[in-house]
Structure 1
Amino acid sequence: MAVGKAKIAQLGYDEARPAPVVLISGPEQFLADRAARTIRETLRSADPSIEIHDVDASGYTAGELFTIASPSLFAEPRLIRVTGVEKSSDAFIDDAKRYLEQPADDTTLVLRHAGGQRGKALLDAVRGAPGHALGAVEVPCAELKKDAERIGFAQAEFRRLGAQIPAAAVRALVAAYGSGLGELAGAIEQLVSDRGTRLSEDDVVRATEGRVEAGAFKMADAATAGNAGEALLLLRQALLAGTDPIPLLAALNMKVRAMARVFGAQGRAGSSPSGSGWHPGRSSGPSGRPGAGARPTSRGRSIWPPRPNGSSRAGAATRSMRSNAMYSSSRGAGAGERREPLARVLRVNDRRERPAG
């Protein structure tokens, strides 16, 4: 039977299941990650001792796949996850085609192909007779571009969480969170967590009312102006939208440094209204003192009075932020693991500004 004549089963991302070979194809990374996670959790629930191996197809060396799939002393089941098949080396394509003819027992091979022509011969083999003979399945993850598709995704997410919501409310939520499926899914989970499983249009209106695209500098402006609640809201929106925490930290760092420079300029030149020192809003002169552009910074500086030991809160915030930025960078973790240090900085600042008692 010629390759390409037989067709393997195709499953939705929410129907993904283990098989000797699973091809996750298409450009929508969020759906692909969801399908891969479902397969992993299914295998782990069946046997917690499962071995999980990750392979990058673009840097693959000959024989690596067979080494990983070879039987071990205790014969544990294996999950081999291969990413970047659309950029795979020739060695991986050759070894993967050979593997289809001689698959390992108790092994699930997951191939992630995001699109393109590279690796087409391997995809044809998986979709054709070799893949059909060993029970391979495909999970297509096409990009959801139409509103109807995104609304269908949102409705499926609510069903998955056991929540009931009117169709009009779903449409409003999809319109408010349109940057990506990850942002939309995160908003749905947060809404169900905050409001429960029986939702109304009013719940969605309250959750999305006044929503703006949260930029790093908007968050930094709110934080340094003492509006901790607004800063935390902007931070949450930015993280749900997929913004990396490091640029957020950098914007906050720049803002605090600017405040420190304004404070230093006032301290050197004198800040008496009757004196010749610089005042907020005064245009900069030949001496290079801060001008009108520093006006918001000078206002923000007023909420950071010096500490009894002489150090400023701005300096303390900068040091704290640097350490948190280094922590986030060194972890190399996902956004879910990196967002907490930045939120902690803002919460600490909020507590500092609350009056005692």
Structure 2
Amino acid sequence: MTWDSVELAPVVLVSGAEHLLSERAVAALIAAARERAQDVEVTQLEGAAYTRGMLGVVTSPSLFGEARVVVVQAVEQATPELITDALDYLAQPADDVVLVLVHRGGQRGKKLLDAVRAAGAPVVTCEPIKKDADKVAFAAAELRRAGRRADAQAVRALVEAVGADLRELAAACAQLAVDTTGVIGADVVARYYGGRIEATGFRVADAAIAGQTGQAVVLLRHALATGADPVPLVAAIAAKLRVLAKVAATRGRGAVAVRDLGLAPWQVDRALRDLSRWTPEGLAAAITAVAQADAEVKGAGRDPVFAVERAVLRVAAAANR
């Protein structure tokens, strides 16, 4: 069962590490309960703070007979008392209560999860969406739910721009739905998120090696904001610098030496153009800066984001020596 097709039951397990989807699943269950009975009482419990008997208190027969939804958050952090009480409750759930157990991953609480599944309780799966095709489908569905249409190219561009984080992708869909009119096209997405679409690791590296400090920093921050990891960003800059160093080492040694590098002709031509603004001292300084950043983003430093930004600034500065 998915978050947007939930069904009420005495016990429902919401399982998966994607917080946005689990939050939506819980909200959908509460909404469904309120459609069935408007005076629903909703109680929230936290797995890590649970103490003995709390579940029995909130699920005991109500004086006024109203329906209830009890949501137990973070079952993956459950105390032993919660596991014990929930297993006891599972054997004889209350008729007028919907118990929602939210488990966001890990092995803790597995005994309870196994018992819930064995009892035949519905399971709402809320796993992270990782494939681009699935993110495209999610974004298209978000826009449809908002009563909006977008062409396929626009949806793909939106996912490319902000698709690293599902919550941010949902927020972007909501923004476009509110702020624009008509069919959403790629031009609209480019107007709102064009900078992010361009912010790949190699574009950051290109700007830094070209000595375009401001552009490199803007692209870097967009890349980080859309979920890019500092490690491949540093690797992209290092790869560009390695090409520069290899081509620089063949100067004056003829075409045979260039062919022995194993680089494509366009890479050599690009490197020769870039080298026109580089001195041997500047290239050495840039390689040193990136080597330091590489170590820091892989654990030697405390702040990988700071390390990669400092490296970008140093490389751009070295290009202008």
> What TM-score, normalized to structure 1?
0.54
- 1:46 deviation in Å? 2.8
- State how 1:103-142 maps to structure 2 within 5 Å: 103-128=93-118, 131-132=119-120, 136-142=121-127
- 1:39 deviation in Å? 1.0
3-state SS of paired residue (2:102): strand
Matched, 1:58 2:43: no
User: Does the Cα contact within 8 Å between 2:69 and 2:99 map onto a contact in 1?
Assistant: yes
Aligned-partner Cα distance in 2 for 1:66–1:192: 44
Q: Percent identity?
A: 46
User: Does the Cα contact within 8 Å between 2:151 and 2:183 map onto a contact in 1?
Assistant: no
- 1:141 deviation in Å? 0.9
Query: Which amino acid counterpart does residue 178 of structure 2 have in structure 1?
Result: S
Q: Which residue of 1 aligns with 2:277?
A: none
Q: Which residue of 1 aligns with 2:80?
A: 90
- 1:198 deviation in Å? 2.2
Q: Structure 1, residues 181-200: CA drift from partner, whole Å, max 9, x if none?
A: 11110110110111135222
- 1:168 deviation in Å? 1.2
**Equivalent position to 1:165, from 141, 144, 150:** 150
**Equivalent position to 1:34, from 9, 21, 24:** 24
User: Does the Cα contact within 8 Å between 2:157 and 2:197 map onto a contact in 1?
Assistant: no
- 1:161 deviation in Å? 1.7
- 1:62 deviation in Å? 1.4
- State how 1:241-280 maps to structure 2 within 5 Å: none
Matched, 1:13 2:14: no
**Equivalent position to 2:165, from 180, 190, 197:** 180
Matched, 1:207 2:192: yes
Q: Structure 1, residues 154-201: CA drift from partner, whole Å, max 9, x if none?
A: 122122222221111111000111341111101101101111352222
Matched, 1:76 2:80: no
Q: Which residue of 1 aligns with 2:57?
A: 67
Q: Which residue of 1 aligns with 2:134?
A: 149
Query: Which amino acid counterpart does residue 148 of structure 2 have in structure 1?
Result: A
Aligned-partner Cα distance in 1 for 2:16–2:63: 37
User: Does the Cα contact within 8 Å between 2:153 and 2:185 map onto a contact in 1?
Assistant: no
Change (3 A) 1:69 1:147: same
Aligned-partner Cα distance in 2 for 1:190–1:70: 43
- 1:126 deviation in Å? 0.6
Aligned-partner Cα distance in 2 for 1:241–1:194: 21
Aligned-partner Cα distance in 2 for 1:47–1:138: 23
Change (3 A) 1:171 1:241: closer
Q: Structure 1, residues 266-312: CA drift from partner, whole Å, max 9, x if none?
A: xxxxxxxxxxxxxxxxxxxxxxxxxxxxxxxxxxxxxxxxxxxxxxx
Change (3 A) 1:197 1:75: farther
User: Does the Cα contact within 8 Å between 1:27 and 1:143 map onto a contact in 2?
Assistant: yes
Query: Which amino acid counterpart does residue 56 of structure 2 have in structure 1?
Result: F
Gaps of 5+ in 2: 199-221, 228-321
Change (3 A) 1:26 1:197: farther
Aligned-partner Cα distance in 2 for 1:204–1:151: 14
Q: Which residue of 2 aligns with 1:99?
A: 89
- 1:211 deviation in Å? 4.3
Gaps of 5+ in 1: 1-10, 214-236, 243-357
Aligned-partner Cα distance in 1 for 2:30–2:226: 26
Query: Which amino acid counterpart does residue 193 of structure 2 have in structure 1?
Result: T
Q: Structure 1, residues 27-77: CA drift from partner, whole Å, max 9, x if none?
A: 110111111111112222332211111111122111110111011111110
Aligned-partner Cα distance in 2 for 1:91–1:241: 40
User: Does the Cα contact within 8 Å between 2:139 and 2:169 map onto a contact in 1?
Assistant: yes
Q: Which residue of 2 aligns with 1:332?
A: none
Aligned-partner Cα distance in 1 for 2:79–2:179: 47
Aligned-partner Cα distance in 2 for 1:76–1:124: 30
Query: Which amino acid counterpart does residue 104 of structure 1 have in structure 2?
Result: A
3-state SS of paired residue (1:143): coil
How large is the RMSD of aligned CA atoms in angstroms? 2.2
Aligned-partner Cα distance in 1 for 2:46–2:195: 43
- 1:17 deviation in Å? 2.6
User: Does the Cα contact within 8 Å between 1:182 and 1:241 map onto a contact in 2?
Assistant: no
